[in-house]
Chains A and B, each alone.
Chain A
Amino acid sequence: MGLFIARRIGKGVVVLLAIVVLNFFLIRLAPGDPALVMAGEAGAADEVFVAQLREKFALDQPLPRQLASYVRNIVGLDLGYSVRQQMPVATLIGDRLPATLLLTGTAFLISLALGVLFGALAARRAGSLADTAITGVALLFYATPLFWVSLMAIIVFSVRLDWLPSFGFETVGAGYAGLARAADIAHHLVLPAMTLGLFFMAVYVRMTRASMLEVMGLDFVKTARAKGLAEGVIQRRHVLRNALLPVVTLAGLQAGTLVGGAVLTETVFAWPGIGRLMYEALLQRDYNLLLGVFVVSSGMVLVFNLVTDVVYRVVDPRIEAAR
């Protein structure tokens, strides 16, 4: 196991460096550069102004040199400086990370818990009215554009009913502390986390249901039934546990993207997360910041892939044995 993890980490570092180099060129393929964007925003610019900005952003340097200095910084665990925001990239990302993890993590747990629960219920009564209702509703949430569901949720729960706040991370200027602040943040979290969670839920419902139906037909389930085990025990210990593997795969993939944030949800609910930071950096061609977000989120994908592989071995010991 130790050797396995070490080998995977080694591979991960190589992949990460490849991602850095690729992204470095990729974002420079987009038309425009940060200097031109800032000059554009000023509504008045002359050549001196644009040249000054290019110098400030180190864009006047030859491309290979820009790449070399960027890679050198990354290797030294330095994500660089956002000239536009006048702050180190690591600070900017660090500021946004907790909000994003709170949102995507909560949504992840909601989707996983509800998805597996409803998927198992649907599988148990496959073909029944309950099954149709569960898969139908789940698909509806999946198929409806996320921003539309979010806006409708705002109109119903914020504008009409006035139960939940429509934007932000917490009540600005309220001066809450401790538990009161946590409650306030939770209050703000409900709408974005629910809409995002319901969106992801559909996949888990379908996956759990399909996988359980498959397992239910296998011989060991018949054996369990023949032994006279209670139906609940069979479903939980024999069917669900064996059906979970594809769900874990999926959850692992999704967990990796948690750090990348959820651009649409964060935008509609004005949630101060990484997704928005990345999207704005993209529009503003803030190269260092954009690359920084890419590096952090691809690093997370690699880490979660590794974690998934380890979890496999816990959920299903046969994988370790088969190696």
Chain B
Amino acid sequence: MIRHVVTGCALVLALSGAAAAQAPRAGGVANAVIQPEPPGLMLGLLQNGPTQMVAGNIYEGLLRYDDALKPLPGLAESWSVSPDGRTYTFTLAKGVTWHDGKPFGADDVLFSIEFLKQNHARARGNMAKVASVTAPDSGTVVFTLSEPFGPFLGVFEVGSLPMIPRHLYEGTDPKTNPANNSPVGTGPYMFKEWKKGSYIRLVRNPRYHVAGKPYLDEIYWHVIPDAAARAVAFETGKVDILPGGSVENFDVPRLSKLKGACVTGKGWEFFGPHSWLWLNNRKGPTASKAFRQAVSYAIDRDFARDVVWNGLGKPATGPISSATRYHNAALAGYAYDPAKAKALLKQAGYKGETVRLLPLPYGETWQRWGEAVRQNLEDVGIRTELVATDVAGWNQKTADWDYDIAFTYLYQYGDPALGVARNYISSQITKGSPWNNVEGYANPAVDAAFAEGAAAVGDDRRQAIYDGVQKTLIEDAPVAWLLELQFPTITRCTVRDLVTTGIGVNDGFRDAWIER
């Protein structure tokens, strides 16, 4: 479970007394920050973070997930799974319309699946085991799988499988469809205006299918490119919502102490952002298992959390985040042990070759972390050289395997079969993507176990398989796991019920309201 950071608002809550029992009030405007400015808002074509964050209000998926990743109704009001784990039946919510007034139905779902298989890399993978999708009537959709796929009920969230309006996209070239610039979904808020470089404006959807919701009249997403200026915008009251990652971590303690500011670390359980060092398993010192283990022992994760991340996050013990299903808490992973690291380096026959370390070019915090890890490595005798890049250069270098050690962090999407296997199975060793098996680790036993784990039916069976995988991977140390990251969402305490699911702010503001 991700640690909750709730400071500052305790007092306010206590003073307002009956606040918890207070009923949501309609009306008001939410001012949030979006960083960086998204390239577009068509969620079926673009899957980057800022697009998901804004478009999560416009589009919807069939399901949503709570912070324990249990499914909640979305566009599907109910669902059932056959005992053999191969047939999934969804009953759609009634009276749902698109923002342009056209009714939403099962044919839109069928169209969306096909559309996303063409245009959405993750959906393509998630739907790989789907043999057929049918609509027995306009309110029901049935998925039939070619073999059981354990995580299947977890792939229907808005960012993973957004519903696309068939009437606007059928028979068109999606790349040039004018609807991309004025997106139409079924979500609680409708796209209104986008002043590039300044703000994106969404307005309340009066026809939203959940009675009484949403509560806010408007949402403004402000584009403020400088991290310090974003912090100031919150301080001066110009914005009320700083979604996770929008200010530098060293500003979080200061901002959360402001009067009337509330902080929560929740809302990232579905993503489970997990950070590690890619270690190039193909060549150089990092090709040796003993050397890789030495790197893992050399890193002081508590220092990184306390100093670099200002106490946010949790040391990662293995490949599966503790927020993700089938994490094994009994496996301790690698503790900070420089003496052991030195012994392993001797065993690996390391002769002082210089190792290139590639930090993530995502701002000040990551830069500092790169320096801290470099210091850790130097301390045990690994000669380390920091390589400076920008985002495009970083992508290129990791995707082309042109590195020795490189920082990264990835989302796990709630299930090892969705967000973990891709980084360790040998079929994912292909150049050109920075998110697959970049380290080049190949172990037939691990390949087989991940395949088995995805197809197994029943939590106990799957847990047993993933326990074995975690043990093997920790021993082989194909990468050096660092921290389970935490991206706190900072808001004015008057903004209520903003984060209500495991998808957090990315799930849209459908429940949010402003206390006045």
> Footprint of B on A, CB under 8 Å?
30-33, 36-50, 52, 56, 83-87, 92, 95-96, 99, 151, 154-155, 158-159, 162, 165-169, 172-173, 266-270, 272-273, 276-277, 280, 283-285
CB distance from B451 to the nearest CB of A (A): 18
B402, closest chain A residue (CB) = A31
CB distance from B199 to the nearest CB of A (A): 5
Contact of B229 among A30, A49, A154 (CB under 8 A): A154
Stretch of B138-146, B148-156, B218-226, B338-346 that contacts chain A: B218-226
Stretch of B40-48, B308-316, B364-372, B457-465 that contacts chain A: B40-48
Those of B417-433 within 8 Å (CB) of chain A? 422, 430, 432-433
Contact A44 B393 (CB under 8 A): no
Contact A37 B391 (CB under 8 A): yes
Given the known interface contacts A31-B397, A32-B393, A50-B432, the answer about A173 and B46 at a Cβ–Cβ threshold of 8 Å is: no
Contact B236 A47 (CB under 8 A): no
CB distance from B479 to the nearest CB of A (A): 17
- The distance in angstroms between the C-alpha atoms of A37 and B490, with both chains bound, is 28
Contact B218 A173 (CB under 8 A): yes
Contact A44 B121 (CB under 8 A): yes
Contact A42 B196 (CB under 8 A): no
Which residues of A are found within 8 Å of B390, using beta-carbon distances? 283
B232, closest chain A residue (CB) = A166
Which residues of A are found within 8 Å of B48, using beta-carbon distances? 38, 41-43
Interface secondary structure of B, over-half rule: mixed
- The distance in angstroms between the C-alpha atoms of A92 and B37, with both chains bound, is 14
The 8 A CB mask of B369-399 against A (1 = contact, 0 = none) is 0000000000000000000011111111101
Contact A280 B229 (CB under 8 A): no
B181, closest chain A residue (CB) = A86
Contact A42 B197 (CB under 8 A): no
Which residues of B are found within 8 Å of A270, using beta-carbon distances? 198, 222-226, 229
Contact of A154 among B124, B175, B232, B391 (CB under 8 A): B232
A92, closest chain B residue (CB) = B196
- The distance in angstroms between the C-alpha atoms of A122 and B195, with both chains bound, is 45
Interface size class of B (residues with CB under 8 A): 35 or more
Known: A46-B125, A172-B199. 15 other contacts (CB 8 A): A36-B395, A36-B399, A39-B121, A39-B433, A41-B39, A83-B175, A96-B197, A154-B229, A162-B236, A167-B232, A173-B201, A173-B218, A272-B195, A276-B197, A280-B225
CB distance from A214 to the nearest CB of B (A): 42
Given the known interface contacts A31-B397, A37-B395, the answer about A272 and B198 at a Cβ–Cβ threshold of 8 Å is: yes
Those of B32-61 within 8 Å (CB) of chain A? 36-37, 39-40, 46-49
Between A and B, 20 residue pairs with Cβ closer than 8 Å are A31-B397, A36-B392, A37-B392, A38-B46, A40-B392, A41-B39, A41-B48, A44-B435, A45-B121, A46-B124, A46-B433, A83-B175, A165-B238, A167-B224, A168-B222, A173-B220, A267-B225, A268-B228, A273-B197, A280-B37
- The distance in angstroms between the C-alpha atoms of A266 and B198, with both chains bound, is 11
- The distance in angstroms between the C-alpha atoms of A285 and B395, with both chains bound, is 12
- The distance in angstroms between the C-alpha atoms of A173 and B451, with both chains bound, is 52
A285, closest chain B residue (CB) = B392
Contact of B392 among A32, A159, A165, A167 (CB under 8 A): A32
> Footprint of A on B, CB under 8 Å?
29, 31, 36-37, 39-40, 46-49, 119, 121-122, 124-125, 175, 180-181, 195-199, 201, 218, 220, 222-226, 228-229, 232-233, 235-236, 238, 389-397, 399, 410-411, 422, 430, 432-436
- The distance in angstroms between the C-alpha atoms of A277 and B36, with both chains bound, is 12
- The distance in angstroms between the C-alpha atoms of A96 and B220, with both chains bound, is 20
Most buried by B among A32, A92, A276: A32
Contact A283 B121 (CB under 8 A): no
Which residues of A are found within 8 Å of B236, using beta-carbon distances? 158-159, 162, 166
Which residues of B are found within 8 Å of A37, using beta-carbon distances? 391-392, 395
- The distance in angstroms between the C-alpha atoms of A217 and B394, with both chains bound, is 59
Contact B198 A169 (CB under 8 A): yes
CB distance from B506 to the nearest CB of A (A): 12
Which residues of A are found within 8 Å of B125, using beta-carbon distances? 44, 46
Contact of A167 among B40, B122, B238, B395 (CB under 8 A): B238
B221, closest chain A residue (CB) = A172
